[in-house]
Amino acid sequence: MTDNFIETRLRKRYSAEKRFKIYSVSALILALLILATLISSIAISSIPAFTQINIGIDIKMNDDQILQFEEDPENVSWRSLQKKSFYSMFPDVETRKDKKELNKLLSTGAYIEIKKFYLDNPNKLSDNNIIYVPASDDVDLLIKDIIDRDLPQDMRTISDNQISYLDKLISNNRIKKTLSWRLFSNSDSREPELAGLKGGIVGTLLTMFVTLIISFPIGVLAAIYLEEIAPKNKFTDIIEVNINNLAAVPSIVYGLLGLAVFLNYMNMPRSAPLVGGIVLALMTLPVIIIATRAAMASIPPSIREAAYGVGASQMQVIVHHVFPLALPGILTGTIIGIARAAGETAPLLMIGMMAFIVDVPSKITDKATVLPAQIYMWANNPERSFEYLTSAAILILLVILIMMNLLAILLRKKYERRW
C-alpha cells in the first residue's frame, strides 16, 4: 500500500520535472527562433546592398583636357568628358532624349570616379582607359534581378531603350560587380548608389566618446560615494530610488532636457556630437551607477575587513582593493550602457542629430548624425535601393553593438576573480 503510494508520487514528480524541463527548453527554442528570423531576414535583405554594379566607360582625354588637367584638375569638365566618352560607345544613339536616357544609366556621381582615376594615375593621362563608374540605382537593381525586365515598360523605372543599351554593355563586357566599399568610405547621399555610412559611423564614435568621457567618471564616483561613503539614511534612500527610476525614464525625455537646457539656454551648437554625447551621458549615468554599485557590493566584506585590519584608510580600501576588484563588473556595465546609448535615436531627435548631413564630422562641435538616425532616414527614403541599404546599415550597427558586448564579456572573463 505504502510502496504503491510512494511509487505513484515518485512517478508524478518525475513527470512534473520532465514537463517543466520541456516548457523551459521550448521557451528557449522559441526565443532563439525569433532572434534567428529577425537577424536572418535583415541579413538576407541586406545582401544586394553589399555589392555594387559598375559600368566601364572607354575614355581618352584630348590634348586640351590634358593641358587643363596639368594646370588644375578642377578646370577639367569631368561631366562632359564622361558624357561624351559614354555617348561615343553608342554611335547609333542620336536624339537628345535618347542621350539623356542613356546618361541616366550612370550614377549622377560617376564623373567623380573618373576624376579620382586620373588623380590616382596621372601617368595614364594620354592612354585609352576603361574606367568603371557606379551605375544608377535602377540599373543596379535590374542587373541584380530585383527589377523584373519582363514587366511592361510603364510598370518599371527603367525603359526598354535603357535595357537594350545595358544589354549592349553586358555583351561588350563593360559591367562589373564589386563589393560596395563606399558603404564605409562615403557619407550620406540622396543617391542610393553613392550613399555610405561613414558620416554616421564617425558621428556615432564621436558621440560615444563624449558620452564615455562624461558618464564614466561621474557615474563611478557617484556610485563609490553612495556605496562606500554615504551614511544610510532617508536622504540617500531617496537618491537611490530616484537613480533607479531615472534608469527607466523614456529616453526622449532626456532629449527634451537637452533641447531646453543645452540648446536653448546654454546655446550649444545644434546637431553636434557634443550635445548628443552629453544627453546620452545623462541617460547612461544611472545605468553606470547601478552597475558600479552592484559590482562593488559583490566584493566580499572579508577583503574590506582585511584591508581595514592592517590599517588602511577608507580611501585606501576603496582605491587599492574595492575599485580594482570591481572594475571588470564596472566596465561590463559601462560598455553595456554605452552600447545602449549607441542604439538610441529618440533623444537625438530633439537636438537635431536626426538630419541629412553629408559632411563627415571631424570634431565634436561639427554637425553630425549617428548610425541609428541614418538608418531611420534611409528607411524613409522613396528609392527602392534604400530598402536594402537600410538592412545593410542595421546589420553594421548590430555588428558594432555585438562587438561591444563581446568586449564586455571578454573583459569580465579575463579579470573575473573567484573567492
Partner 1 sequence: MKDVGSMIPNQYKITTSNVNVDYGSKRALHDINLQIEEKEVTALIGPSGCGKSTFIRCLNRMNDLIEGCKVEGKIMIDDVDINSSDTDIVELRARIGMVFQKPNPFPKSIYDNVAYGPRIHGIAKSNEDLDNIVMKSLKRAGLWNEVEDRLDASGLSLSGGQQQRLCIARAIAVNPDILLMDEPCSALDPIATAVIEELINELKERYTIVIVTHSMQQAARLSEKTAYFHLGKMIEYDVTSNIFTNPKHEMTEAYISGRIG
Q: Which residues bind partner 1 (CB under 8 A)?
A: 231-232, 300, 302-313, 316, 320-321, 325, 417, 419
| Residue 228 CB coordination number (10 Å) | 17
Distance CA 305, CA 293 (A): 18
Is 257 or 330 the residue whose CB approaches partner 1 more closely? Answer: 330
Is 101 or 228 the residue whose CB approaches partner 1 more closely? Answer: 228
Is 331 or 395 the residue whose CB approaches partner 1 more closely? Answer: 331
Query: Least distance to partner 1 from the beta carbon of 327, Å?
Result: 12
**How far does CA 233 lie from the centroid of its chain?**
44
Distance CA 68, CA 62 (A): 10
Distance CA 172, CA 56 (A): 10
Distance CA 215, CA 330 (A): 12
Is 198 or 321 the residue whose CB approaches partner 1 more closely? Answer: 321
Is 121 or 302 the residue whose CB approaches partner 1 more closely? Answer: 302
Partners of 177 in the β-ladder: 53
**How far does CA 258 lie from the centroid of its chain?**
23
- Name, in order, each residue with C-beta under 8 angstroms of 172's C-beta and a sequence gap of 6 or more: 89
Query: Least distance to partner 1 from the beta carbon of 318, Å?
Result: 13
Query: Least distance to partner 1 from the beta carbon of 258, Å?
Result: 38
Query: Least distance to partner 1 from the beta carbon of 221, Å?
Result: 21
Closest CA to 136 of 419, 384, 352: 384
Q: Take residue 192 and report the three cell numbers written for it.
A: 542610393
Is 252 or 303 the residue whose CB approaches partner 1 more closely? Answer: 303
Residue 106 gets which letter from DSSP?
B
Query: Least distance to partner 1 from the beta carbon of 320, Å?
Result: 8
HSE (side-chain half, CA atoms, 13 Å) at 333: 24
